[in-house]
Amino acid sequence: MSSSAIRPPLILGSSSPYRRELLARLRIPFDVAVPDIDETPLAGEAPEATALRLSRRKAEAIAARHPGALVIGSDQVCTLDGAQIGKPGSHEKALAQLQQMRGRTVTFHSALCLLDSRTGEAQLADVQTRATFRDLSDAELDAYLRLETPYDCAGSAKAEGLGIALLARVESDDPTALIGLPLIALTGMLRAAGYPFFGA
């Protein structure tokens, strides 16, 4: 029997093109489904708790529609001094975020959930990345935002693109976590779930 024949369906529960591109690096078949959940943080909820809860809720929402599949849910929360920094949504808010973060070290919580809808078993991880931003001028920050328009990214910087020029240092156990899908953690979870990468 070929490895593809014994692979359960794999579904990425995300609307993010960045996560889709990362998962495609693994050269394994997968589908994409968009979860419809409320992503509002709960009152008094710690940033890492928000990220873990939302990653699981996304996976559960997709698994309910796809029995028999392995479902990946992921969420990222950016924090500065313990406070959450969300997706800016506009140029003005993005500029204010970058001004607040310049010269500072920000923590990104990249949470991951792999839910096996065959058994109901969920594996969870919070991969943290510390990113130190360069102390750039308002003009440089404004120019960056107009070039890349990262208004859908927590922290207003696309590290997979020109946003890497905003950073002076990145510290993480998983180089893909900052982009939004920690592949080292994910491949470990898939192996634990019995998913074959290199043949049956």
Q: Which residues pair with 10 in a beta bridge?
A: 70
Length of the chain: 200
Q: What are phi and psi of 16, to 5 degrees?
A: -80, 120
Kind plus residue range of the DSSP H or E element containing 192: helix 183-192
- The answer to whether 75 is a known catalytic residue is yes
Catalytic residue among 36, 38, 75, 116: 75
Q: What are phi and psi of 32, to 5 degrees?
A: -120, 135
Kind plus residue range of the DSSP H or E element containing 32: strand 31-33
**Triad 177, 101, 152: Cα angle to 5°:** 55
Q: Would you name the residues annotated as active-site residues?
A: 75
